[in-house]
Chain A
Amino acid sequence: GQNIDQPTEMTATEGAIVQINCTYQTSGFNGLFWYQQHAGEAPTFLSYNVLDGLEEKGRFSSFLSRSKGYSYLLLKELQMKDSASYLCAVRDREDSNYQLIWGAGTKLIIKP
């Protein structure tokens, strides 16, 4: 079956570092996406991983291990505006349209 797991909620302090984990089970992995969604707004694309390793983009980095079915999103130098939900999604090539399988999202709360 297909399944994506990520923590429901996390809390971190402004200026600190936080790691949001995502584990997945799919029959035909074809890439993993991270999105950020502020309350009442559109999900916006953050990163894409298809090969093992770390992809860095400013304060945000995303890591993938295909053998472990595992990814994480690392946020450094946290700012209050980083308070949002973070969605993990996996593309499955076993689906006829290569559609995305979504996690339920991790709500990140940043405290001063």
Chain B
Amino acid sequence: ETGVTQTPRHLVMGMTNKKSLKCEQHLGHNAMYWYKQSAKKPLELMFVYNFKEQTENNSVPSRFSPECPNSSHLFLHLHTLQPEDSALYLCASSQDLWVGNQPQHFGDGTRLSIL
């Protein structure tokens, strides 16, 4: 139990569907992150939120739309995805953005498959 919960664990969707990924952290952290993890590749940072405000968007296509209603919850809304978007999507949180030794705490991820 990492304190970061992601749902669903697995998702299969067609390219025209709309779905959302959910992340909730129970650690009282102020910063939350979305990452994409593809096989044998480094984690790709997608979005960063600090105190509910988006601070980073790493040139992510608009078919991925994040939402952070409060410091404990983070969503990733998906629309008209492509087959190359199939990957493990990881949510993470940390106490703050800028404190050097603060680790990020990850959820188990959502395994997304695009048909």
Chains A and B form a bound pair: yes
Contact A30 B100 (CB under 8 A): yes
Contact A99 B4 (CB under 8 A): no
Measured between alpha carbons, how far is A40 from B111 in the docked complex, in Å?
9
Which of chain B's residues have a CB closer than 8 A to the CB of A31? 100-101
Pick from B42, B45, B97 the residue with the most CB of A within 10 Å. Answer: B42
- Consensus secondary structure, chain B interface: loop
Measured between alpha carbons, how far is A97 from B33 in the docked complex, in Å?
12
Pick from A42, A48, A50 the residue with the most CB of B within 10 Å. Answer: A42
- Is residue B48 contacting chain A, with contact meaning CB distance below 8 A? yes
Q: In the complex, which range does the number of interface residues on chain B fall in?
A: 20 to 34
B103 in complex: contacting residue of A48, A101, A102, A104, CB < 8 Å: A48
B residues bordering A, Cβ < 8 Å?
A: 2, 4, 40-43, 45, 48, 50, 55-56, 90, 97-98, 100-101, 103-109, 111
Q: List 19 A-B contacts (CB under 8 A).
A: A31-B100, A42-B2, A42-B106, A43-B106, A44-B106, A45-B103, A45-B104, A50-B101, A89-B43, A91-B100, A97-B48, A97-B55, A97-B56, A97-B97, A97-B98, A100-B45, A102-B43, A103-B42, A105-B40
Task: Give me the 4 closest cross-chain CB pairs, A-B, nearest first.
Answer: A45-B103, A42-B106, A102-B42, A102-B43
Identify 8 new A-B residue pairs, CB closer than 8 A, beyond the known A98-B98, A105-B42.
Answer: A8-B40, A31-B100, A42-B108, A43-B106, A45-B105, A50-B101, A97-B48, A100-B45
